[in-house]
Chain A
């Protein structure tokens, strides 16, 4: 029977199809830059707000820094702001995926002999590339405001690797949200908690200052070890246990997001 002679493993094309889909995804950003601009502007707006509105008072209250000021606070919040940039791009991915799902082209992809998951990996790889861009722009902005780091090249490479891993994990989760959403509006709302969670972490104030219940939450939620290890790495210090915790969270979130998204996408609908 022809089944035998014609069957070839589709997996051979996972990489090629993913690259094709990545190119498609990046081209969307070039052709439709307003979403990209909004997402990159968001962390920068928070940076300006926190440094110039709250920075003076907050800097003075930082523990372990006597006579802290606005520039000390800038150093303190930069890791949190960078992670907000990651979350912000991840949120954009949920919107992009949902927009994609409303168009007829996905039906076309589904009737083609392509590596199915490549439709999603294109979005994830695209998001990682955009995250690097967003992080670089945000960091440049922070430096413009006076941010300086004592960390060396290896530390910064570690920091970027960590940010890429976070982008990877958060994006698989938001891809799932984009697939699960019944409209583009829903897709733009559900991931908002990702942008809000850094506020309830060690990102903007030390957790010791928080009331007991909130402090428990802040100290045990995934963003805190991510921000703490990023803060340690970017100041040339040893992140210690936090780095392992952060890596663990990233792997866990990526695995859940990937399996969830794949299930949502590859299941042949019965209705």
Chain B
């Protein structure tokens, strides 16, 4: 690493991975400089977890040059493991252990000094607001507490590079904000972070750079504001009373997407003029409601790909999960 001018924490070039006929990653390239936060943004089944599993040595790639913390993930996997901390998508805590015992387990496995460990554990329990629950079995913890414990277990070895696979999926808004705060503290300490997420706002909150993963490729990369600038106004959603009127309006608005099931019409918000133009085409009695939304992942996807960021095929949705359990064996 000394010979490089700018230290690179993660570099991935030409990463391919297929499961049978299903090519999950079709040539992913990315680079994460030390001390920065990179977010892989994409819907379920886009290959985020597969990419993380390969970078964290849980899975072998079919092709590609992947270096993490200066080590080749296949040839020098021990070096990679020595340098990283991983919080996976699925809770990686011991449910039969208490919060404190879980941290003790990790302190031992990180070969922390035995005299120093109790103070480190107490500090983490305090910082992650788990001190009151420290002597309770992790089984009894709420989703947010489990996630905080999980992250504390990752951080106890003070890794300089951490991977967070969908760290806030399934958490309530308050727990999400708490977790973001913890991640921000790490970032302030100069830790490099690669996180995956389905939420643009999460990438927006945390990341310096965002890669949009779709169908196994990075289709766009840039800072959160660069990405959002592609969809400045977000979108407008119109709720209709009946399907016929919805179809009529959709017919004259080819750039809008209609969903006959929920009776909604959705189109990009391109400013007041376009809003007025839309309103002129709506009858009072046909519309049940109208909302103007700030940009979200769907808007970015629509702008970048021309298709919505729906979970790509039902079968692939469950696949990510299945593959993780596979990888665990």
Contact = CB atoms under 8 A, between A and B. Distances in A.
Given A2-B2, A105-B93, A271-B19, A111 B57 contact: yes
B326 A271 contact: yes
Interface of A: 1-3, 6-7, 10, 13, 16-17, 20, 23-24, 27-28, 31-32, 101-114, 179, 264, 268-271
Which has the most chain B C-beta neighbours within 10 Å: A7, A102, A105, A268?
A105
A103 B95 contact: yes
B327 A107 contact: yes
Contacts of B92: 103-105, 107-108
A263 B97 CA distance: 28
Nearest to B111: A13
Interface in B69-96: 70-71, 74, 76-79, 81-82, 84, 86, 88, 90-96
Contacts of A32: 96
B109 interface: yes
| Chain A contact surface mostly | helix
Nearest to B163: A111
Given A1-B2, A24-B105, 12 more contacts: A2-B1, A27-B101, A104-B88, A107-B90, A108-B86, A108-B153, A108-B154, A113-B78, A114-B109, A271-B19, A271-B20, A271-B59
B273 interface: no
Nearest to B75: A3
A110 B329 contact: no
Closest 4 A-B residue pairs measured CB to CB? A104-B92, A108-B92, A104-B90, A113-B82
Interface of B: 1-3, 19-20, 56-60, 70-71, 74, 76-79, 81-82, 84, 86, 88, 90-97, 101, 105, 108-111, 137, 153-154, 157, 323-329
Contacts of A108: 86, 88, 92, 153-154
Contacts of A23: 108
B56 A111 contact: yes
Contacts of A268: 57-60, 74, 77
Which has the most chain B C-beta neighbours within 10 Å: A24, A27, A114?
A24
Contacts of B84: 111
A112 B97 contact: no
29 contacts: A1-B2, A2-B2, A2-B70, A16-B111, A28-B96, A31-B96, A101-B328, A104-B91, A104-B93, A104-B328, A106-B328, A107-B86, A107-B90, A107-B327, A108-B86, A108-B153, A108-B154, A111-B81, A112-B81, A113-B81, A113-B82, A268-B58, A268-B59, A268-B77, A269-B59, A269-B60, A269-B329, A271-B19, A271-B323
Contact of A6 (B82, B86, B329): B82
Contacts of B76: 3
A31 B91 CA distance: 19
Which has the most chain B C-beta neighbours within 10 Å: A10, A17, A27, A179?
A27
Contacts of B20: 271
Contact of A107 (B19, B88, B137, B157): B88
A20 B88 CA distance: 22
A236 B57 CA distance: 55
A179 B58 contact: no
A110 B59 contact: no
Contacts of B94: 24, 103, 105
B111 to A, nearest CB: 6
A137 to B, nearest CB: 23
Contacts of A104: 88, 90-93, 328
Contacts of A101: 328-329
A175 B326 CA distance: 18
Contacts of B329: 101, 179, 264, 269
B263 to A, nearest CB: 40
B127 to A, nearest CB: 20
A1 B74 CA distance: 17
A3 B86 CA distance: 21
A36 to B, nearest CB: 13
Which has the most chain B C-beta neighbours within 10 Å: A23, A32, A112, A179?
A112
Contacts of B105: 20, 24
